[in-house]
Amino acid sequence: MTAGNAAAPARAPVGKLGEGAFKDKEKPTHIRMSNIEAAKAVADAVRTSLGPKGMDKMIRDDKGNVTITNDGATILQRMKVLHPAARMLVELSKAQDIEAGDGTTTVVVVCGALLEAAKQLLSHSIHPTKISDAFQRAATEAIKVIESMKIEFDLSNKEAMMKACATSLSSKVINTHSVQMSELCSSAVLKVADPEKNSLDLKDIKIVAKVGGTLDDTELVDGLCLDNNAMGTTRRMEKAKVALIQFQLSPPKTDMENQVVINDYSQMDRVLKEERQYTLNLVKAIKKSGANVLLVQKSILRDAISDLAIHYLNKLKIMVIKDIERTDVPFLCKTLGCHPVASADHFTPESLANVDLVEEVAIGGESNCTKFTGIQNAGKTVSILIRASNENLLAEADRSIHDALCVLRCLVKQRALVAGGGAVESELALRLGQRAKEIGGVDGYCLQRYAEAMEVVPYTLAENAALNPIEVVTELRKRHNAGEFNAGINVRKAGVSNMHREDVLQPMLVSTSMINLATETVRSILKIDDIVNVVGRG
Amino acid sequence: MAMAMNPIQVLQNGAEEEKAETARLSSFVGAIAIGDLVKSTLGPRGMDKILYSPTGQYGNGEPSVQVTNDGATILRSCGVDNPAAKILCELSKVQDDEVGDGTTSVTVFASELLREAERLVELKIHPHTIIRGWKKAVAVAREALNESAVDNQADPEQFKEDLFNIARTTLSSKLLTQHKDFFAKICVDAILKIRDDPKSTLESIQIIKKLGASLESSFLDEGFLLDKTPGQNQPRRVENARVLLANTAMDTDKIKVFGSRVRTNDIKSLAEIEAAEKEKMKEKVEKICKYDMNVFINRQLIYNYPEQLFADNKVMAIEHADFEGIERLALVLGGEIVSTFDNAENVKIGKCDLIEEVMIGEDKLLRFSGVSQGQACSLVLRGATEQILDEAERAIHDVLCVLYSTIKETRTVYGGGCSEALMAQAVQVLVEESEGKEQHAIQSFANALRQLPTIMADNAGLDSADLIAKLRAEHAKGNKHAGLDLYNGCVASMDDLKVTESFKVKRQVLLSGHEGAEMIMRVDDILKSAPRQRAPDRCM
């Protein structure tokens, strides 16, 4: 064998692909397709819950508990999806939830449509990275289009806030109460928002959900509402002085293990007496400080408060509320303007909060809640008390109010609104389609598909509202082509109308983040060509 | 004499041996499989992999999904059983530790060398001949790489530009490629901050991940950020802070004797002991407060009672700063971590100009600015999902590692397959000159080098056969800057496109790739020791 012969085969393209060395191999294509199919299946699952006439899903977990919701993020979270690519869609809706708090269903549906488009493009043997780049470009163009549609807004405009809230709530179970709820959420947000910093900490809004009553009874508590009820007999206190204690009112317990050895009967008596004395001394110390409402922090080491202590406190007409979580302490301090007291000899007048009225409110059922009203030097916080006739409705109302609050937070962060009801997506389909024709080439082709995929939102909205989707979508196209960029689907009137005039508005951030996140997810799914199973970690 | 008829058993029961050809074959197969696994992630148009863990990354039973194209991460996660494949995984790990980048390249290069070697072995060329040939080739390639390296250390502006270009090149293969200019600038700024300070290491650059907003909202912040808040009613802002770092129990000082307990006859004395315990805590806090300090940071929890005592003393007390956090703080503040508080004089107190709360997204963090080791800085990453943040962190880590090694070894080379083609060209010349069988081996080395740009072109969906031929021709003509422009699918000058890479990374890829392949080549026998018998469970 000569040297020349040896070198020749060595230089042939590796991988035994022969002349087609630049072609994609079979396995990556297969994986990509299976990823796309799996992700699309997830998107299809939530499609029917999109929009104001969307349907709800009933989800039963392995313990038999039932959740009824049409919140995309919640549905996906509970679905226990296993396929890795499908899980990325779950993550996507979670991300939208974090970023914008609303539009969690829309983002998944749009992502599904984009994947369908990508699949078709792949079948035309366009390289995945080409599609990926074109989609990124499309997203950039899309954001520009959305920005050109925005309606300016400022925080003094409570009406606009309410409209945005109402749009978000319209798709939920509680849509019959949307006026009341949007009023409530807007007032809550206006109270805690910091207009200078563009920030809104939702932790400043405490939501207490209680079964019983109806949604009409849901209220905004100006002051503080606690889920815990008072112990003992004192249930109402005017001109209250509230103390938040972090020590325990129970028999002493050392940090080292302890044991009280009792040898005879008389000793037993003495031990009992001493215990009483000990508790009484603590209670007296509290009384001396002037406090008449006591909030007791939960303790994991021992009883936070013994029955004996409650008895004494009641005798001294001190109201007791126990089981305050440690994580709630900062919120309470901020709301009441009090300082927590960590030991009985640390009571100072400043550590107490003055409240006009502390009252336990009977709301039926076993558990009551306690309201604090007329707090002097109160912090910027509010409480919302949600009431509903059953657990499921209550949980859904809680989620819906959370969504509405998130929508408002978006507005505080970025003060712009756009028209809802599929108006944005229809406009995107039109304008991106026009742009696609200007660009041409592979990019233009991909952009065209991207634009078409956007129409899934109005299409699905119409479908869910039992309208003729083809008729509605074509009507929308016509209107948008004529320059009516706010035209969207009016579900109430079963037709197409100007969404701005119908007061169907949503924050711009919801739309922009939807485009960004959906595109990002599609791009990362396209870029994946293999699934590696991780073994043995922990 | 019946024994003589039985096969003689040398190895322990359960142990296995693979010999000569079988051993070599299993090495080749394993190594090539690993190379094929990661090679599609190579280059700016490389693909990603899903790492799917059914039991979850953190052992919480929730299935978790990771999306990455970092070679080291992929290889670390997939369990391999083949010894040769293990060696390649190690190779990428070492590359990660050593220079931080080129983890995929080194694995792919080694496996391509072995793929060539397999063919040569089939042609009955002895492994040692191949190794000899490779040795000669690697020396020539290294020489060529050395010659092509550019050193711009003397010109700070030019050097900064170099760093920027290197960062861009590294980022172009990562998730952050859309924002590569943005992140390249952040990374270069961070590196230049710690550059002139001998005390600073990569440790001084802290990466904090915060969910929310988008990648473009990431930023570089002066000083050190700690994801903690001070206790209730304690000062929220401290100027001229003197920080005492501690690792001590702030619940109680327990006697660490098993079974120690308090035994009393009545509740009163129990209450007294409880009071004594409390008093002891109070003393401890008083002792701590005697130090010349106004900020106290503890690694362990601080309970409510001491927290309030600190609040009374107007000391900012931060509990539960995790292990890494407190070590880093000790480093950047120049303090030491104490656990007993008896000698107030001998303790070094950490210092910084200002501690204040800053808002990042929804969360409040503490910022330590003007730290005594002035070069510390924090890089805050924002992103929409955990996966994006994790991948971004890996990418930033790679970039920082590369830049850090570049400020130590300031030479740079051209990327985009340029250096590989250049080396291959130099080796090709050697092929013609050398006599004997080694020639085949040297030729195979050149081929393996050329595979790297070939794979990059393949990943980008380009006609690699055409492009590589063009690239080869350019280099043969002496055009030393020619490389692949994977965005436009043509051969272009890397000097114009500013695709630069760290010399150290390239050299490391060449040397350790070769070393790994050589090591595997030398193997002609694989011994598997018998699995250790499990001791029978006594409870059964």
* pLDDT exceeds 70 at position B129: yes
- DSSP state, B176? G
pLDDT digits (tens, 9 = 90+) for B470-490: 999 999 888 888 888 888 888
**Structural domains in chain A (count):** 2
Same domain? For A465 and A520 the reply is yes
Same domain? For A483 and A338 the reply is no
A217 lies in some domain: no
Domain extent for A311: 223-255+264-377
* pLDDT exceeds 70 at position B374: no
Cβ atoms of A429 and A210 closer than 8 Å: no
pLDDT digits (tens, 9 = 90+) for B260-287: 677 777 777 777 877 787 788 888 888 7
538 residues of chain A, pLDDT tens digit each: 333 343 333 333 333 333 333 344 567 788 888 888 888 888 888 888 887 788 888 888 888 888 888 788 888 888 878 788 888 888 888 888 877 778 888 999 999 999 999 999 998 888 888 888 899 889 999 999 998 888 887 777 788 888 888 888 887 777 788 888 888 888 888 888 776 666 677 778 888 888 877 888 888 887 788 877 777 777 778 888 888 887 777 777 776 677 777 778 887 888 888 888 888 888 888 888 888 888 888 877 677 788 888 888 888 888 888 788 877 887 888 888 877 787 777 777 777 888 888 888 777 666 677 888 887 777 778 888 888 888 888 888 888 888 888 888 888 877 888 888 888 999 999 999 999 999 888 889 999 999 999 999 999 988 888 888 899 899 999 999 998 888 888 877 778 888 888 888 888 888 988 998 899 889 888 888 888 777 654 3
Q: Which CATH number do you get for residue A43?
A: 1.10.560.10
Residues in chain B, overall count: 540
Cβ atoms of B453 and B486 closer than 8 Å: no
Parallel, antiparallel, or unpaired: how do β-strands A340-341 and A319-324 relate?
unpaired
A188 lies in some domain: no
Q: Which CATH number do you get for residue A244?
A: 3.50.7.10
Of B175, B262, B458, the CB nearest to A254: B262
* Domain end among A343, A377, A411: A377
Cβ atoms of B166 and B449 closer than 8 Å: no
* pLDDT exceeds 90 at position B141: yes
- Spot the catalytic one: A69, A105, A167, A279: A105
Confidence of residue B151 (pLDDT cuts 50, 70, 90): confident
Show the tokens assigned to A143.
């954001």
Residue A466: count of CB within 10 angstroms of its CB? 10
Same domain? For A358 and A424 the reply is no
Q: What is the pLDDT of residue A76?
A: 85
* Domain end among A359, A377, A395: A377
Is residue A29 annotated as part of the catalytic site, yes or no? no
End-to-end CA distance of chain B: 44
Same domain? For A234 and A359 the reply is yes
- Spot the catalytic one: A56, A67, A71, A97: A71
- Does A301 reach chain B within 8 Å, measured CB to CB? no
A410 lies in some domain: no
Show the tokens assigned to A97.
């939830």
Same domain? For A438 and A364 the reply is no
Same domain? For A373 and A423 the reply is no
pLDDT digits (tens, 9 = 90+) for B17-36: 777 778 888 888 888 888 88
Same domain? For A368 and A467 the reply is no
Beta bridge partners of A361: A369
A480 lies in some domain: yes
Confidence of residue B137 (pLDDT cuts 50, 70, 90): very high
Average model confidence (pLDDT) across chain B: 80
Confidence of residue B444 (pLDDT cuts 50, 70, 90): very high
A283 lies in some domain: yes
Q: Answer whether A532 sits within 8 Å of B37, measured CB to CB.
A: yes
- Spot the catalytic one: A48, A104, A234, A519: A104
A93 lies in some domain: yes
Same domain? For A340 and A468 the reply is no
pLDDT digits (tens, 9 = 90+) for B397-419: 888 888 888 888 888 888 888 99
Cβ atoms of B136 and B442 closer than 8 Å: yes
Same domain? For A227 and A305 the reply is yes
Cβ atoms of B425 and B476 closer than 8 Å: yes
A451 lies in some domain: yes
The candidate with the shortest Cα–Cα distance to B244, out of B162, B172, B344, B335, is B335
Tell me the H-state helices in B100-224.
103-122, 127-148, 156-172, 180-195
- Does A315 reach chain B within 8 Å, measured CB to CB? no
Confidence of residue B3 (pLDDT cuts 50, 70, 90): low
pTM over 0.80: no
Which chain B residues are within 8 Å of A21, Cβ to Cβ?
454, 458, 464-465
Q: What is the pLDDT of residue B368?
A: 79
Interface with chain B: mutation pick from A255, A296, A512, highest number of B CBs within 10 Å: A255
Q: What is the pLDDT of residue B113?
A: 92
- Cα B142 to chain center, whole Å? 25
Q: Answer whether A92 sits within 8 Å of B447, measured CB to CB.
A: no
Of B260, B277, B460, the CB nearest to A129: B460
Cβ atoms of A401 and A172 closer than 8 Å: no
DSSP string, A122-173: HHTT--HHHHHHHHHHHHHHHHHHHHHT-EE--TT-HHHHHHHHHHHHTTSG
A403 lies in some domain: no
* pLDDT exceeds 50 at position B378: yes
This complex has an ipTM of: 0.72
Same domain? For A368 and A271 the reply is yes
Place of tokens 């956090």: B325
Which chain B residues are within 8 Å of A524, Cβ to Cβ?
48, 67, 175, 387
* Domain end among A377, A406, A428: A377
CA angle B162, B165, B168 (to 5 degrees): 150
Best-predicted range by mean pLDDT (A55-69, A289-303, B197-211, B303-317): A55-69
% of chain B surpassing 70 pLDDT: 88
Same domain? For A434 and A354 the reply is no
